[in-house]
Amino acid sequence: MSTATAIENKSPASAGRFEPRIAAFVCNWCTYTGADLAGTSRVQMMPNVRMVRLPCTGRIDTAFIIKAFERGADGVIVSGCHPGDCHYSEGNYHARRRFAMFKELMNFMGIDERRVTFSWVSASEGRKWGDVVDETIERVRALGPFDDYKTLLEETP
Amino acid sequence: MNELRQLARKLLADKTVGVVIGYEEGQGAVTRPSFATSPEQAEKLVFDARCVQNLASYLSPRRSTVRSLGKPAVVVKACDAKALAGLIREAQVKREDVVVISVACGGVLADPRSGKALSEAMVADRCRDCDGAHTSLADHKVGQAKAPAFGSPKVDARLAELQAMTAPQRFAFFKSVFSECTRCNVCREVCPMCFCARCMADKSEPQWIESSPHLRGNFAWHMLRAMHLAGRCVGCNECERACPAGIPLSLITRKMQKVVSERFGYSPSDDPNVPAPTGAFRLDDAQEFIR
Amino acid sequence: MSRIGVFVCHCGENIARTVDTAAVAQECGKLPGVIHSVDYKYMCSDPGQLMVKQAIAEHKLTGVVVAACSPHMHEKTFRRATAGAGLNPFLCEMANVREHCSWIHESRTAATEKAIDATRMIVEKVKRNAPLSPIHIPVTRRALVIGGGIAGIQAALDIADGGREVVLVEKEPSIGGHMSQLSETFPTLDCSQCILTPRMVEAFQHPRIKLYTYSEVESVDGYIGNFKVTIRKKARSVDEANCNGCGACQAVCPNKKIPSEFDAGLGKRSAIYVPFPQAVPNIPVIDRERCSYFRAKAKGSTKVVCGKCAEACGKGAVHFDQQDTLVTEDVGAIVVATGYRLYDIGKDQDSELLKGYGEYGYGTVPDVIDGMQFERLASASGPTAGKILRPSDGKEPTSVVFLQCIGSRDPSKGIEYCSKICCMYVAKHTMLYKHKVHHGQATVFYMDIRAAGKGYDEFTRRAIEEDGARYVRGRVSRLYRDGEVIKILGFDTLSGEPIEMDADMVVLATAMRPQAGMAELAQKLSVSYDKHGFINEAHPKLRPVETNTAGVFVAGACQSPRDIPDSVAMASATASKILGLLSNEQLEREPTVARVDESTCSACFHCERVCAYGAVEHKDIRDRSGNLVRVVASVNKGVCQGCGTCLATCPSKSLELDGFTDAQIHAAIMAF
């Protein structure tokens, strides 16, 4: 199965409503734990997010986001500890610079920046995680599938 | 010119350096990089508005042949000096291992092959906002520095045009220019700051950047190249000049330079002690984009 | 070729109710490289773990994926089981299909789909996992306790009695904390100081406790077993070694009208002072903000103003030129026991969450005091020598109104939590008042009476039934001064009647808050805290005294409102955890650390610049004859904490983080 078909087959356009596929890159100590708390507290949210756990936002390379789009993500969430709360003291500060530059680059390249949510969600913010997830899904749903990126390969002249 | 040759001759004769990296006449009307290893060869050296290449890139450890020639003296324009400072800042060159010959440069040609004289219309875009001063890195200064008097860089007007477009229009624009990219890697080879022994794009396990020249891989390449150069690019525009596909790469590097300047207050500097904005942070860096 | 086993857990009904676990097992069984895929009711049970072990042996598995709860819950369990079957434990990973899936979604179809995706992503990751071995690190076998209140004292004594050295740091001039200010304690009414001071003295004299008072933690470096703590010893202006605590300096100090912190502002102290008679150590400190000598100097005066204390000191122990000093202590574990402060109902709040109380005049109405001030009035060592007298005119109040839940349980004022101890101490206050002012009437406005605890309910009933406290269920909407009395307007929600009454004195049971500067301290320690500044425990039920930073523990009211028995119990618990930790000469650490591919490293040292731990070193590569060929980056495994910031920064991708390698993350994304 070619990559293109694989992506197509996985695009959930069921029941009339577009179901975006969202990749989430989160740090282990704050957001992943906050998402655990959301579960423990039974905070209900939409099921479109697939999560990749990293130790720290400092570990999150912008190549991950690009690769997620290549793999058919319609949106991406990048989330970690609030400034000052990083388990590794400074990882999120370095990440913040990297993400700021990447956000501007995406925008410049014409990738709708609303497709990527950057957030700080602490270990005690289970509810905020639910909000971030639902808001991102609704926003990306309104933007529609990220066909621009998904069809790049086919569109190569 | 005589002053430059004289200096080079002296440095080579008294064995201060093993090689003087400068410019010499090439085929046709253009000049090319020159590697003078004897006082006699110093006679070949020239410097004028045709000398566009960023010679700092020959100091990168990647250029093992050049390194084997011995301690280098390098002819630098103001723009090249910033690249040299970058290499020193990023531990690729030790300051004491290079002799810096700063040449007074009143601007270089956008296209040295044109055979035209330097003028407002013909000047390289990067020279428009250059102060033309001798670098503080200079061990030797050749010629009287003068500030070039040209208009503001044209790339800024193009940037403003792009910025005024909608996101889909910009995406379409980059799709059209990236579709020309054959991934020949000249932009990387010519870049003084692309000194990695093995480029990320050549790493296959895992392969973050698809290596075949198709739009998907090209987007990944140009975006990640922009990220890697953000806060490090010195704006010499050699990538754009060298690109055989005519991709307006300076749009991207200039954009990132502006982002870095606006967000982190950093502009390319010829002072190696000014820390680069990547690898540093401020507690109060703007985070308006983070929920 | 990978041979992966997938084990899908039902978690009873917790997962299986929403996720079709059989379908997950079946779908994952079809993935390339997966040769065994099953589901089971309780994967973490003995039979469940046995299934994993047997499958490893039977199918010669090279990797194990358990689709169950959060790895924060059971990763250790399954890695241990994996190791038990002879497979490297780091070849086992968990897919979170409970907290991140079954518990947060209703649609069975969608949850099942998500569970399959999540498991597939982990399967692809595990295919690229490599066997790792734990890193052994040495342990500094002594502990730091931050905060010298009852929790800190208890923790320090227990650890020291257990045979390990303790460094106890207290920011005030004396240890003792809030407990030293209390009059009597519930539910027994025993004298607070009588039970506390022996412990203070014991801590002071303990051969294994090193006490730093009037000191604060400046910075903390390192990690479990190997913390390096810098302590700022604030300038006392008094030489601790020479001072014999005679008190002559305080006697001659001309500034005697300074509100005493110990007396909650109701009593006075001098500028050179010992906070209270039983202070430990009994060594004064000069309050430089208020001392004439220092004030004159701060204004730029070159004349020597005052200096009487120095003249009076027979030991020459007063040193005006003393400076703050920084000392470094190596410890293996840290207890945070910084305690609490009370909600200030005034206008100026230090947090944007807090609003203050306009209806009570923002704390400007005379004779409206807080609970700690009442403690001082009731205390034999207090400014009134234990007589209940109102602050404005020294009259004995015949009617005292107590308001509970001031700040607490009031989201509109910014604090939604219950401060836990107020119901009990208000009951105690009504009793102390009745015992001292027999004809007085105590009235309590309450929302609920929360008296869960041994002897607690009996205690509140005694206040009502034996000591005649009048309890009104309802809130006071307004209070104001009306001549001699304070007018109270409230509502009795049980009778449905509005209440208007006069009081001579009003006592507000204000909320317990963490100490000021908790966020900064938590950041120094890299521990997480909630929006109020309370330190988060690692698990609310099962790891109540650990934090999410290994080696840092928490005791007492800095974790959540706590009473004395709770704080002491927590303190002893931290001591037991720490004694356990320090019983090892070496610790095992997860091998999730970075390493450098020396063949491609370009020695730009971006990694070094972003490393918060200084774990990146320069390594010389030499040829056979010892000539330096080049320099590359190298990671010190003992120092690296595994955040991976260096990886994302390395332009040539020449770094890897074991456990989260680029290949592993790439594979997970490719399986997205």
Q: pLDDT-based confidence at C139, cuts 50/70/90?
A: very high
Which DSSP category does B197 fall into?
A: S
Percent of chain C clearing pLDDT 70 (strictly above): 100
State the nearest Cα–Cα gap between C218 and chain A, in angstroms: 15
Looking at every residue in chain B, the average pLDDT score rounds to 92
Q: Provide, as residue numbers in chain A, all residues whose Cβ is less than 8 Å from the Cβ of B213.
A: 156
pLDDT value at residue B115: 83
Under an 8 A CB cutoff, do B200 and C604 touch? no
Type of residue numbered C633: A
Q: Is the pLDDT of residue A4 over 50?
A: no
In terms of DSSP H, where are the helices of C549-644?
564-582, 606-610
Q: How far is C531 from chain A (nearest CA, A)?
A: 8
Query: What is the residue type of B71?
Result: K
Closest CA to B54 of B210, B247, B270: B270
d(CA C464, CA B245): 90
> Are A120 and B291 inside 8 Å of each other by CB?
yes
Flag if C100 and A85 touch (Cβ within 8 Å): no
Equal CATH topology for C142-234+324-339+515-582 and C594-670: no
Domains of chain A: 3-7+21-155 (3.40.50)
C36: enclosing H helix or E strand: strand C34-40
Identify the residue with better confidence: C55 or C637.
Answer: C55
pLDDT at B1: 67
In angstroms, the separation between the Cα of residue B184 and the nearest Cα of chain A is 17
A54 touches chain C (CB under 8 A): yes
What local confidence, expressed as pLDDT, does residue B151 receive? 82
Report the distance separating Cα A22 and Cα C627, nearest Å: 53
Task: List pLDDT tens digits, range C442-484.
Answer: 999 999 999 999 999 999 999 999 999 999 999 999 999 999 9
* pLDDT of B266 strictly over 70: yes
* Interface contact flag, A55 C528, Cβ < 8 Å: no
Tokens, residue A42? 């039974």
Helix and strand counts by DSSP (H, E) for chain C: 17, 34
How far, in Å, CA of A96 to CA of A99, rounded? 5
- The pLDDT tens digits for C272-300 are 999 999 999 999 999 999 999 999 999 98
List, as ranges, residues 89-148 from A with C-beta within 8 Å of B: 90, 93-94, 96-113, 117-120, 132, 135, 148
Q: Can you tell me the ipTM of this complex?
A: 0.91
Side chain identity, residue C60: K
Interface B-C: count of C-beta contacts within 8 A: 50
pLDDT tier at A3 (50, 70, 90 boundaries)?
very low
Which residues of B lie closer than 8 Å to C, measured between beta carbons? 61, 90-92, 195-200, 203, 205-208, 228, 278-280
* Residue C570 confidence (pLDDT) above 60: yes
Q: What is the pLDDT of residues C234-284, one digit of tens each?
A: 999 999 999 999 999 999 999 999 999 999 999 999 999 999 999 999 999
Chain B residues within an 8 Å CB radius of C605:
90-91
Predicted pLDDT of residue C119: 97
Spatial separation of the C-alpha atoms in residues B189 and B212, rounded to whole Å: 18
Please check whether residue B180 touches A, CB under 8 A. no
Residue C342, Cβ neighbours under 10 Å: how many? 20
Segment C159-186, tens digit of pLDDT = 999 999 999 999 999 999 999 999 999 9
Query: Over 50: is that where the pLDDT of A8 sits?
Result: no
Q: For the beta carbon of residue C218, count every other beta carbon within 10 angstroms.
A: 15
Amino acid at A38: A
User: Rounded to whole angstroms, how far apart are CA atoms B158 and B248?
Assistant: 10
Q: Do A60 and C648 touch (CB under 8 A)?
A: yes
Instruction: Tell me the pLDDT of chain C averaged across its residues.
Output: 95
| Position A13 pLDDT exceeds 60 | no
pLDDT of residue C67: 97
Q: Which residue carries 């959930």 as its tokens?
A: A12
The type of residue at C40 is Y
CB pairs under 8 A between A and B: 126
**Beta-carbon contacts of residue C438 (< 8 Å; ≥ 6 apart):** none
Architecture of the domain whose range is C594-670: 2-Layer Sandwich (3.30)
C-alpha span between C65 and C42 (Å, rounded): 15
Give Cα C107 to chain centroid, integer Å.
Answer: 39
Local confidence band at C528 (pLDDT 50, 70, 90 cut-offs): confident
Say if strands C184-185 and C190-191 run parallel, antiparallel, or are unpaired.
Answer: antiparallel
CATH number of the domain located at residue range(s) C341-513 in this protein: 3.50.50.60
Kindly tell me if the per-residue pLDDT of A2 is higher than 50.
no
Nearest to C528 by CA among C537, C516, C517: C537
- Smallest CA-to-CA distance from C150 within C604, C521, C543, C565 is with C565
Q: Which of A3-12, B86-95, C467-476 has the lowest mean pLDDT?
A: A3-12
As a 3-state breakdown, chain A gives helix, strand, coil percent values, each rounded to 5, of: 50, 15, 35
- Residue A33 touches chain C, beta carbons under 8 Å: yes
Burial B97-107 (b: 16+ CB within 10 A, else e): ebbbbbbbbbb
Answer whether B165's CB lies under 8 Å from B209's CB: no
Contacting partners of chain A (3+ CB pairs under 8 A): B, C
- Chain C hits for B198, Cβ within 8 Å: 599-600, 652, 654
State residue A15's pLDDT score. Answer: 57
B172-220 confidence digits (pLDDT tens): 999 999 999 999 999 999 999 999 989 999 998 899 999 999 999 999 9
pLDDT per residue over A48-103, tens digit each? 999 999 999 999 999 999 999 999 999 999 999 998 888 888 899 999 999 999 99
Q: What are phi and psi of C270, to 5 degrees?
A: -90, 175
The C-alpha of C379 sits at a distance from chain B's nearest C-alpha, in angstroms, of 46
Q: What average pLDDT score do residues C200-228 get?
A: 95
Please give the structure tokens belonging to residue C655.
């770094």
How far apart are the C-alpha atoms of B71 and B11, rounded to whole Å? 11
A44 touches C: beta carbon within 8 Å: yes
Chain B neighbours, 3+ Cβ pairs < 8 A: A, C
Nearest to C149 by CA among C108, C190, C192: C192
Residue type, C484: E
Tell me what pLDDT residue C171 has.
97
User: Kind of pairing, strands C215-223 and B31-36?
Assistant: unpaired
The dotted CATH code for C142-234+324-339+515-582 is: 3.50.50.60
Contact B196 C605 (CB under 8 A): no
CB atoms within 10 A of CB A87: 25
Give the integer Cα–Cα distance in Å for C210 and C204: 8
**Residue keyed to tokens 């529609």:** A144
pTM of the model: 0.76
Token pair 């698990």 is found at: C539
Chain B residues within an 8 Å CB radius of A70: 210, 216, 220
Please count the CA atoms within 13 angstroms of the CA of C386 that sit on its side-chain side.
10
Minimal Cβ distance to A50: which of C98, C121, C645? C121
| Inter-chain touch A36–C118, beta carbons under 8 Å | no
Chain segment C68-119, per-residue pLDDT in tens:
999 999 999 999 999 999 999 999 999 999 999 999 999 999 999 999 999 9
Mean pLDDT of C349-374: 93
Nearest to C114 by CA among A25, A73, A21, A44: A21
Q: Tell me if chain C has a CB within 8 Å of the CB of A130.
A: yes
pLDDT-above-90 percentage for chain C: 90
Question: Is the CB of residue C519 less than 8 Å away from at least one CB of chain B?
Answer: no
Residue C62 has pLDDT above 60, yes or no: yes
Pick the CATH number of C4-127 from 1.10.760, 3.30.420, 3.30.450, 3.40.50: 3.40.50
Q: Where are the domains of chain C?
A: 4-127, 142-234+324-339+515-582, 248-312, 341-513, 594-670
Is residue A140 scored above 90 in pLDDT? yes
Which token pair is B42? 């110093």
Torsion of CA C341, C342, C343, C345, to 10 degrees: -130
Helix (H) or strand (E) holding C156: helix C150-161
**Distance from C-alpha of A135 to C-alpha of A48, rounded to nearest angstrom:** 12
- The two structure tokens encoding residue C263: 């007396």
Report whether C215 contacts C170 (CB < 8 A).
Answer: yes
